[in-house]
Amino acid sequence: MRRALLLPGLLALAAGPGLAGDLVSPPSPEYREECGSCHVAYPPRLLDGAAWARVMAGLADHFGTDASLASATRDRLAAYLAARAAPSRGDASAPPRPDTSRITTSAWFLRKHRDGHDGLHAALWRTPAVGNPANCGACHRAAAEGRYSEHEIQLPVSTGASSR
């Protein structure tokens, strides 16, 4: 796996084992095209089947925007996501399942991205380069390809806040 370059103004993070390896899976061309244009095509494994079903049933009012698809396309993508969703509770290898249609409000996400963890701090989330926690690619530089390895994280620098 490519190691992140330590560029001026960017922080490269220490390596270590984690969940990221389980998520390495490039999005299908159709998933990337239809669900990766406004934001990265999120890893199917970060939501359970029920949450993906809610997302796919509500595309006309998708987090305040219209992301409607032709019904055949929507049904294909719904099946794609359902087949790759987080497994049922009780599977110890599975990431914890969020209870809503958001990844970024799940207990798992908040724990992995808590303040003080690996250089993350509140001001960083508000920098123009990030703007929104759902903007995974601001830090996970290979998010569009479905890769979240620690080796490929580069935090943007926030002005006016201390980095480590």
Interface residues toward ligand HEC, by CB under 6 A = 13, 16, 18-20, 23, 34-35, 37-39, 42-43, 46, 55, 59, 62-63, 65, 67, 77, 102-104, 112-113, 118-120, 124-125, 130, 132-136, 138-140, 148, 150, 153, 155
Query: Shortest approach of ligand HEC to residue 8 CB, angstroms?
Result: 18
Q: How many CB atoms lie within 10 A of CB 102?
A: 17
DSSP 75: H
Whose Cβ is closer to ligand HEC: residue 25's or residue 88's? 25
With a CB cutoff of 8 Å and minimum separation 6, the contacts of 150 are 13, 14, 15, 16, 18, 20, 118
Q: How many CB atoms lie within 10 A of CB 33?
A: 13
| DSSP H helix total and E strand total for the chain | 6, 2
Which position's Cβ is nearest ligand HEC? 18
Whose Cβ is closer to ligand HEC: residue 4's or residue 130's? 130
Query: Shortest approach of ligand HEC to residue 90 CB, angstroms?
Result: 20
Whose Cβ is closer to ligand HEC: residue 39's or residue 84's? 39
Query: Shortest approach of ligand HEC to residue 65 CB, angstroms?
Result: 4
Buried b (16+ CB within 10 A) or exposed e, 83-99: ebbbeeeeeeebbbbbe
Whose Cβ is closer to ligand HEC: residue 88's or residue 131's? 131
Query: Shortest approach of ligand HEC to residue 97 CB, angstroms?
Result: 13
Query: Shortest approach of ligand HEC to residue 51 CB, angstroms?
Result: 8
| Beta pairing partners, 12 | 154
Contact (CB, 8 A) for 17 and 154: no
